[in-house]
Amino acid sequence: MKIGELKSADDLLQESLKIDPSFAPAHRVLSELWLRKGDLFKANEYATMAVRIDEDFRPWWNGLNNIRSKIQNGKRNVQQGKYEKAMQEYEAIAEKYPYFPEAQFYMGLTKFRQKDIEAAAFYFSEALKIYPDHQKARKGLNNVTKQFLNNGNKAYKRGDLEKATQYYLKTIQFDKQYYLAYFQLGVLEKKMGNPDQAIAYLNKAIELKPDFHKA
C-alpha cells in the first residue's frame, strides 16, 4: 500500500469513527495502518480500543504483543552479541507481517552492529520499500551509503579507480537519489577517458540536485 493510499484510508476510517466511535472494525484496520507505518505503539492503541469494543479482535491484539516480545528479545540478543538469534526473531516477524517495516529496520540495525555494511544497507532499503517515510530506516541508509561513498573517495585518492567505481556503484545501488555518488562516478569516467558516460553521470547529479554547482 502506497503512502497516498495509507493517508486516504486513514482519512476514511477517521471519518467513520466520527460517525460511530464504537465501530470496532475501523479501530482494527487503523491498527494495521499504523503497523504498516512501523508504529507499533499507535497500532497497539487502536487494537486495544477494538478489543474493548469487541473481543473477536483479541487475536490481532495478541499478535501485536507477540511482535513486541520478539523485538525485545531481538534487542536483548544484540546486546549480548547473539546476532543470529536476534535475526531469527526479526525474520519471524517479517514472515508473518511482511508489511511491517520495523522488522527490516531491526535486521539492518543488527547487521550494522556486526559491521556488515552491505547487508545493513539492504535491510534499510527494504524497510523503505515497504514504507518510504520510515525515518529511522532513512537515517540508517544514509549512514551506510555515506560509508560507501567515503570508501570510494579513499580508493580514488590512492589511485584504485576500479575499487572506487565499485563503491560508488554500490552507493547508488541502495540509494538511487544520492547525487554525490553520481558526481564522483562522472569524475571517474572523465578521468578514464569516457566522456559520454561522464556527462550522463554528471547530468544525473544535476537532475537530483539542481543547485549542485560542482557538476
Task: Print pLDDT tens along the chain (215 aa).
Answer: 555 577 788 888 988 889 999 999 999 999 999 999 999 999 999 999 999 999 999 999 999 999 999 999 999 999 999 999 999 999 999 999 999 999 999 999 999 999 999 999 999 999 999 999 999 999 999 999 999 999 999 999 999 999 999 999 999 999 998 999 999 999 999 999 999 999 999 999 999 988 876 65
Residue 115: which residues within 8 A CB-CB, separation 6 or more? Answer: none
- The DSSP letter of residue 54 is -
d(C-alpha 31, C-alpha 102), whole Å: 15
Q: Do domains 3-133 and 138-208 have the same CATH topology?
A: yes
Could you tell me the residue ranges of all domains in the chain? 3-133, 138-208
CATH 1.25.40.10 fits domain 138-208: yes
Are the C-beta atoms of residues 178 and 172 closer than 8 Å to each other? yes
Nearest to residue 97, comparing CAs of 57, 58, 52, 127? 127
Secondary structure (3-state) at 79:
helix
pLDDT computed for residue 111 by the predictor: 98
Residue 28: which residues within 8 A CB-CB, separation 6 or more? Answer: 46, 47, 50, 57, 60
Question: 3-133 has which CATH code?
Answer: 1.25.40.10
Nearest to residue 152, comparing CAs of 163, 137, 138? 163
For the chain, how many helices (H) and strands (E)? Answer: 11, 0
pLDDT computed for residue 4 by the predictor: 59
Secondary structure (3-state) at 194:
coil
Are the C-beta atoms of residues 46 and 31 closer than 8 Å to each other? yes
pLDDT computed for residue 9 by the predictor: 86
pLDDT computed for residue 211 by the predictor: 85
**Which long-range contacts (C-beta less than 8 Å, at least 24 apart) are formed by 61-65?**
63/96, 63/97, 64/31, 64/35, 64/40
